[in-house]
């Protein structure tokens, strides 16, 4: 018997519906599997590319590390300063900080530290509670105390560091 079927009407040979359906399901499953694998591989490649680009950008954006002070320096902690504020009878402020001295000014550091502490206390007595409120008040206080320390020490102070401030 041969596999060739001759149809006299010119119509299509009759096939079984079961084999057509299984072929269709097989092709559909293979297509879905291929598209799923392709999507996963594509997402993986996109993630790898994104990580590489971000790492290169971070490397370019990071400035080289430099020393804050190029000359040798020494830090001296000040005693806590507690004074009354003007305007309100029972308002007190407590400020604690440190001063960064140049190395060549360390022999005078005790004298300068005492003078800076008394200048800070005198300055704080002139302030009101409203002068110290908010981020702007804190920034102004830091700048003013830094400037006063530098002026008092005739350039031997590099920076005044405000460590704590409490208003009560």
User: Could you read off the pLDDT of 76-103 as tens digits, one per residue?
Assistant: 899 999 999 888 778 889 999 999 888 8
Residue 36, SS3 per DSSP: helix
Q: Let me know whether 108 and 61 are in one domain.
A: no
- State the chain's mean pLDDT as an integer: 84
The answer to whether residues 115 and 150 belong to one domain is yes
Mark whether 44 and 124 lie in a shared domain.
no
- Residue 69 CA to residue 140 CA, distance in Å, equals 23
Same domain membership, residue 155 and residue 111: yes
Summarize pLDDT for 7-34 with one digit per residue, the tens. 566 555 555 567 888 899 999 999 999 9
The reply to whether 145 falls in a domain is yes
Q: How many domains does the chain have?
A: 2
Domain that holds residue 136: 73-167
- DSSP E strand stretches across the chain: 73-77, 81-84, 92-102, 157-167
Q: Is residue 6 part of a domain?
A: no
Those residues whose C-beta lies under 8 Å from the C-beta of residue 78, and which sit 6 or more positions away, are 96, 97, 98, 99, 113, 116, 117, 120
Domain identity same for 60 and 77:
no
pLDDT of residue 17: 62
pLDDT of residue 111: 87
Smallest CA-to-CA distance from 137 within 93, 100, 82 is with: 93
Residues, the chain: 168
Same domain, 123 and 157: yes
C-alpha 10/C-alpha 2 separation (Å) is 19
Q: Domain containing 102 — which CATH number?
A: 3.30.479.30
Are the C-beta atoms of 126 and 103 separated by less than 8 Å? Answer: no
CB contact set of 131 (below 8 Å; sequence gap of 6+): 137, 140, 141
């Amino acid at each position: 018997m041969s596999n060739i079927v001759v149809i006299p009407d010119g119509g299509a040979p009759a096939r079984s519906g079961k084999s057509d359906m299984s072929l269709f399901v097989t092709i559909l499953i293979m297509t879905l599997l291929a598209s799923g694998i392709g999507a996963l591989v594509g997402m993986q490649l996109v993630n790898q590319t994104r990580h590489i680009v971000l790492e290169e950008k971070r490397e370019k954006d990071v400035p080289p590390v430099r020393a804050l002070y190029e000359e040798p320096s020494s830090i001296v902690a000040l005693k806590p300063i507690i004074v009354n504020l003007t305007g309100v009878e029972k308002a007190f402020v407590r400020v604690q900080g440190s001063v960064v001295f140049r190395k060549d000014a360390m022999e005078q550091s005790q004298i300068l530290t005492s003078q800076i502490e008394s200048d800070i206390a005198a300055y704080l007595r002139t302030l009101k509670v409203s002068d110290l409120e908010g981020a702007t008040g804190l920034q102004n206080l830091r700048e003013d105390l830094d400037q006063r320390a530098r002026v008092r020490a005739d350039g031997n102070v590099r920076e005044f560091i405000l460590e704590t401030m409490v208003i009560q």
